[in-house]
Amino acid sequence: MFETLSPLAPDPILGLSAAFKQDTNSNKIDLGVGVYKDENGNTPILDAVKAAQTILQEKESSKVYITPQGHQGFIDGMLTLLLGASSKVLSDQRVAAVQAPGGCGALRILAELFMRCNKDTVVWVSDPTWANHIPLLGNAGLTLKTYPYFDKASASIKFDEMMDCLTEVKAGDVVLLHGCCHNPTGADLTQSQWQAVAELAQKTGFIPFVDIAYQGFGEGLDEDAYGLRLLADSVDEMVIAASCSKNFGLYRERVGLAAIITKNPETKRIAQSQIQSVARGIYSMPPSYGGALVDIILNTPSLYTQWNAEVTEMRERMITLRQLLVSNLAAQGVDKDFSFINRQKGMFSFLCIAPEQVQALRNDKSVYFVDSSRVNIAGINKQNVEALAQAIATVL
């Protein structure tokens, strides 16, 4: 049987990590894998998470399965975080949701649900988009198409081209939108642009699919949910995939949320049964630990305050790192204007340099990031930023 399989090329990002580990240069810099790192290059456990772990350890009395939809406190807390405490779709009982194994699990659950609704569903993704969107959605059998999003030449969003393309999207098609901190470009829609997208969704009847993995890393927890909340108030139907890996630092725990906004409570009840059935067919029962921690944090006022402060600290540090990189590049006297990095948000930025230059940085300077020129801003620190700027200046 297995001799019929063909070898596959290594995953670009995972292969990059392997190459970085093998590099013997003591001054090597890893800007590839999308995890938050502190000044020492560590991915820390948040203090709010440590406190929640202690609470959970003291109160947990069984390892029996949790309910099929997951921890209800986690679901309620996440929906409030995403949609807002005064959300009308929540008060109208129009939201079905399950706890998922990470944002990836949420994406795949929703992809499988689309296939149950209509096997010919077309999902439109931004060009570029997070690389794993393609297999997570496409391997479920969905047809994927792209809409223009980012122009490397100007380091800006192709909004007019994007809207021209989405105007032609058919009713019932799904449009995947990054809720904030676009991965891989770091370029986010403005509030007025979100408004235009919401109006177009109302007009054409496409279904918004918001993937939000970095809430709080752009401008703030509420500010980063602006587009998602606007869409939820504007359309009858939409879906949401959320991740707790980044803003809670729960990378290993793999906890996320898959949510569906329906036209009415009756459809919500049907959607809830279907989404739980999809999850049952993939992994049977949800893992408990990560969801339990988020439940405790979101529903304990003192821990929520502490967590919000830690998210703020991470966000402000990444903003500072952007400023340091831009100022250090300017100090190197490079001709290219990199000020756009300060306008991008979250963990990632496109440097908008050529793949050959990315390769030269890797081979000659031991600076590692993917060929698209996406860099993990959180991989920069005050000790390596000058060396990074010098390396970029050299290859330019």
What pLDDT, on the 0 to 100 scale, is given for residue 166? 98
| 26-79 per-position pLDDT tens digit | 999 999 988 999 999 999 999 999 999 999 999 999 999 999 999 999 999 999
Specify if 307 maps to a domain.
no
Identify the CATH number of the domain in which residue 380 sits: 3.90.1150.10
345 flagged as catalytic: no
What mean pLDDT is reported for the chain? 96
Known catalytic membership, residue 203 = no
Give the model confidence (pLDDT) of 321-347 as tens digits.
Answer: 999 999 999 999 999 999 999 999 999
**Which among 158, 246, 268, 365 is annotated as catalytic?**
246
Of 211, 224, 345, 365, catalytic: 211
Q: How many domains does the chain have?
A: 2
- Per residue in 79-130, pLDDT (tens digit) is 999 999 999 999 999 999 999 999 999 999 999 999 999 999 999 999 999 9
Same-domain check for residues 17 and 110: no
* CATH code: domain of residue 63: 3.40.640.10
Provide the domain limits for residue 266.
49-299
Please give the Cα distance from 152 to 19 (Å, whole number): 26
Q: What is the rounded CA–CA span in Å between residue 307 and residue 78?
A: 14
**CA gap 358, 103 in Å, rounded:** 29
Tell me, yes or no, whether 173 lies in a domain: yes
- The structure's pTM equals 0.95
- Domain boundary, last residue among 255, 272, 299: 299
Per-residue tokens: 241: 């995939």
Residue 4 placed within a domain? no
306 found inside a domain:
no
Task: Enumerate the H helices of 244-349 as residue ranges.
Answer: 265-283, 289-298, 301-331, 340-343
Annotated catalytic residue 307: no
Which candidate in 30, 37, 130, 188 is catalytic?
130
Pair (61, 38) in one structural domain: no
- The residue among 299, 334, 351 that closes a domain is 299
